[in-house]
Structure 1
Amino acid sequence: MSGKLIALTGATGFIGRHLLRALSERGYRVRVLLRRPVEVPEGASGAVVGDLARPMNMAAALTGVDAVVHSAGLAHAMSGAPEDDFRNSNTEATRKLADAAQRARVGRFVFLSSIRAQAGSSAPAPLSEADTPEPTDPYGRSKLAAEEALAETGLDWVALRPVLVYGAGVKGNMAALLKLARTPYPLPLASLAGRRSLVSVESLAGAVATALEAPGPLRRPLVVADPDPLTLPEMLAALRAGLGRGPGLLPCPVPLIGLACRATGREAAFDRLSGSLVARAEGLEALGWRPAQASRDGLAALARAGG
C-alpha cells in the first residue's frame, strides 16, 4: 500500500477507467480531474472539476499530489482541421498540465502517448525506443509534440507508447474485430500474414504502475507491447476460441482482399489488415514490467466476457 496521491486525467474513458481501478487496488489514492461535474468514479479518493485547455484551477487540483497520470486526449478529430484539434487537445493541454505540475512540484508525470508518435499504421521492422520517431498523421504528430513539450520542462516525466490496446469496453479497431469474430460465417482472411503487437489494458495499467514506481529520473519514452505479436487470423482464432468455436478462416489471395477493400472505400482498413506493426517493450522490461497475460489468452478472455 503506497498511499501516494495520484492525479489522474481521462478517468471516464476506456483506459482511464481501468487505470483508476488498478491504481486504487495497488494502494494509491487517486484524485480524478474531470472536465465537467459528474458523479465521482468508483475508486477515486477525490475529484476536481476543470478544463485542461483553461487550467485556472490546476494549482488546487495538484496540491499535495505525488505524481500525475495523464490519460486524457483526443483520438479522433472533431472538426475539419485535425492538426488544430489534435494539437489543442493532445499537445497544448499536456503542456499546460505539465507546467502546472512543475509549479506544484509533482514528483513524476506519466503521459499516455501512443506508438503512433513513433511510426505510422505499419512499420517494416520491429520498433523500439531507440528508433527515430516518424509519425505519419496529425494524431501521432500531436503525441510526439506533447512528449517534446514534456522534455522541455524540469519534470521527471515518462511517455508510455502503447500499441493497440484491448480490454473490456474497447472501441475502434479492436471492437470491430471482435464484432467480426462473433459473426457465424467463415472469413476469407487466413492468408493475411502481417503481424501486429497488442497489449491488454491490464498490462498497460501494470506499465503505468511500473513507471510510477521506477527509480528516477526517467525522462524518456517507453514502448508498451506484449512480446507475442499476432497475425490477424491468429487474433480472430483466439477471439473465436474464447467463444468456444473454431477459427472458421479460409484462404484468399491477399491482392483480392485489397481489391475488395478499395472497392468498398476501406483502403485504410486494408493497410492495417495487411501490414505489420511489431514493437518491443525493452525499456519497460528492463524496469521489471511483465505483461499480465499472453495476447492469445487475453483475446480469448475478452470474447468470453462479451467485450
Structure 2
Amino acid sequence: MRVAITGATGYVGRFFVARALTDGHRVTALTRHAPGGPVDHLPYDLGAAPPELSGTDLLVHTAFAHIPGRYRGGEGDDPDGFLAANLDGTRRLFDAAARAGVPRVAFLSSRAVFDGLPPGADLPEGCAPDPKSLYGQAKLTAERHLSALPLRGWSLRATGVFGLEPRDLPRATPPAWQKWRDVLTEAFSGRAPAPRRGTEVHGADLAGALARLVAAGAPAGPVHVSDILLDTRELVGTAARVAGREAALPATSDAPVSAMTCETLVGLGWAPDGRARLEMEMPALLTAYGLV
C-alpha cells in the first residue's frame, strides 16, 4: 500500500511513518524538505497547494501549524493565520485527495472537540462535540469537511500523546518530546510539581489504532483514541523508582477528567499498553533529560 503522511518528520507523524514501514507499506513524506531515510518525498506546506496525490492508497494528515509546545492557544496573537494554515490548508488537502481518487484519509483530530463541556463529562463516541478553543473548533470543522467527501475518512480524536520518538527515522530538530521535561526536572530538584492528571495514549498505540481501522475496513467517521489516566504523582513516582533517586512527589490530583471511551477500536481488538510502555521507556527518557 502507498501511504502519504503530512508532518512525517514531526513528533506524532513519525509514529505513523514507523508503523507504515513496519507493515511493509511504501511511505511518502509530505513535508517542506526531503527527510531522507527509507521514505519518498513530495514537497508540501499547509499554506500552499497540495501535491499530486494520484496513486495514494492512504493519506494520513498530522501536520499542524502552532506556537511551539501549544495546541489549544496555539494561535497566539494570529488567529486568522492559524485558521488559514490549519483549517483552509487542511480543507485544500482533503479536496485534493478526493479529486485524486484517494480512497482513505486519516485525520489527526483531537479530544479538544469536546473542550467546551464541563470537566468530568463522559465522552463516548456518540457524544456531541462542543469545542470552546479555536484549536478544537478548527479540528471539528475539518472533521466535518472530511466527512462530506466521497472517500473513507477517519478523524482520530486523540488524547495527549506520549512516547519516545521512533529511532532511525528522520525527525524535526530539536527532538519533539519535551512534555514532561520540566515536571521531572522540578521533582528531581526537590520541588513538588503541581498536581495534575489527564488522559494519554502512546504514539505507537495511536498508529496501531489506524492500522486496525485500515485492516478492518472500518466505517468512516470520528474514532476516539485514548488509553491511560495518568496522575503526575504516578509519573514522578515511576521516574524516581527507575532512577533510584529521591524526587518530590506532588499530591494526588482530584481534578475531574473528561475521558473518551473508544468503542470502535475496542471492538476491533485494539489493546493499548501505555503503562507498560511508560515503564519500559522511562530509563531512556531520564537519560535524554539528563536526570540520570
Judge conservation of contact 1:21–1:43 (CA < 8 Å) in 2.
Answer: no
Alpha-carbon shift at residue 233 of structure 1 (Å)? 1.3
| Higher share of residues assigned helix | 1
* Cα offset, 1:7, TM superposition: 0.7
Counterpart mapping for 1:87-102 below 5 A: 87-102=83-98
Structure 2 partner of 1:187? 192
2:46, 2:76 → 1: CA distance? Answer: 19
Q: Of residues 288, 291, 295 in structure 1, which corresponds to 2:269?
A: 288
Cα distance in 1, alignment partners of residues 30 and 158 from structure 2: 22
Residue of 43, 51, 56 corresponding to 2:45: 51
Q: Tell me, what secondary structure is at the counterpart of 1:159?
A: strand
Q: Note the C-alpha offset of 1:235.
A: 2.3
Following superposition, the deviation at residue 121 of structure 1 comes to 9.3
1:34 counterpart residue number: 31
CA distance in 1, matches of 2:64, 2:88: 11
After alignment, is 115-124 or 147-156 more displaced? 115-124
Matches within 5 A, 1:32-181: 32-35=29-32, 37-40=33-36, 42-44=37-39, 46-55=40-49, 58-59=51-52, 62-76=53-67, 77=74, 80-82=77-79, 84-119=80-115, 123-168=119-164, 169-171=175-177, 173-181=179-187
- Stretches of structure 2 that go unaligned for 5 or more consecutive residues are 68-73, 165-174
In 1: Cα distance, 2:12 partner to 2:75 partner: 20
Task: Verify the 8 A CA contact 1:75 1:139 in the aligned structure 2.
Answer: no
Aligned to 1:269: none
Q: Is the 8 A contact 1:243 1:300 kept in 2?
A: no
Measured at CA, do residues 278 and 47 of structure 1 come closer, stay the same or move farther in structure 2, by a change above 3 Å? Answer: same
Q: Which residue in the other structure is 1:277 paired with?
A: 258
Whether the 8 Å CA contact 2:159–2:201 is kept in 1: the answer is yes
- The amino acid that maps onto 1:176 is D
Corresponding residue SS for 1:301? helix
Distance 1:239 1:170, change over 3 A: farther
Partner SS for 1:58: coil
Distance change (3 Å), C-alpha of 1:54 and 1:48: same
Q: Deviations over 1:143-185 (max 9, x none)?
A: 111101111211210000111111125546434334334x241
Deviation readout 1:190-247 (Å, 9 max, x if unpaired): xx4x64211111111111212322214x221111111x31322122222333323466
Question: Post-superposition, which runs of at least 4 consecutive aligned residues in structure 1 deviate over 6 A?
Answer: none
Per-residue deviation, residues 75-125 of structure 1 (Å, max 9, x unmatched): 43355222x233222221111111111111111000011111222597222
Contact 2:46–2:86 (CA under 8 A) maintained in structure 1: no
CA contact (8 A) 2:162 2:201 kept: yes
Q: 1:179 to 1:15 in 2, by over 3 A?
A: farther
The separation in 2 between residues aligned to 1:198 and 1:205, in whole angstroms, is 14
Cα deviation, residue 279, structure 1? 2.0
Q: 1:286 to 1:246 in 2, by over 3 A?
A: farther
Structure 1 distance, partners of 2:92, 2:210, is: 21
Cα distance change, pair 184–176 in 1 and its aligned pair in 2 (3 A):
closer
Q: Distance in 2 between matches of 1:5 and 1:179?
A: 42
- 1:51: Cα distance to partner? 2.7
Whole-angstrom CA distance in 2 between matches of 1:99 and 1:14: 25
Q: CA deviation at 1:288?
A: 2.2
Match in the other structure for 2:172: none
CA shift for structure 1 position 6: 0.4
Letter in 2 for 1:67: L
Determine helix, strand or coil for the equivalent of 1:109: strand
8 A contact 1:125–1:278 mirrored in 2: yes
Structure 1 gaps of 5+ residues are: 255-272
Deviation digits for residues 42-70 of structure 1, max 9, x if unmatched? Answer: 231x1111333322x522xx121111011
Match of 2:180, SS? helix
Residue 274 of structure 1 and its aligned partner are, at CA, apart by 4.0
What amino acid maps onto 1:223 in structure 2?
H
Q: Alpha carbons of 1:251 and 1:220: their partners in 2 closer, same or farther (altered >3 Å)?
A: closer
Aligned mates of 2:239, 2:192 — CA distance in 1: 13
For 1:102 and 1:276, the matched residues in 2 are separated by 37
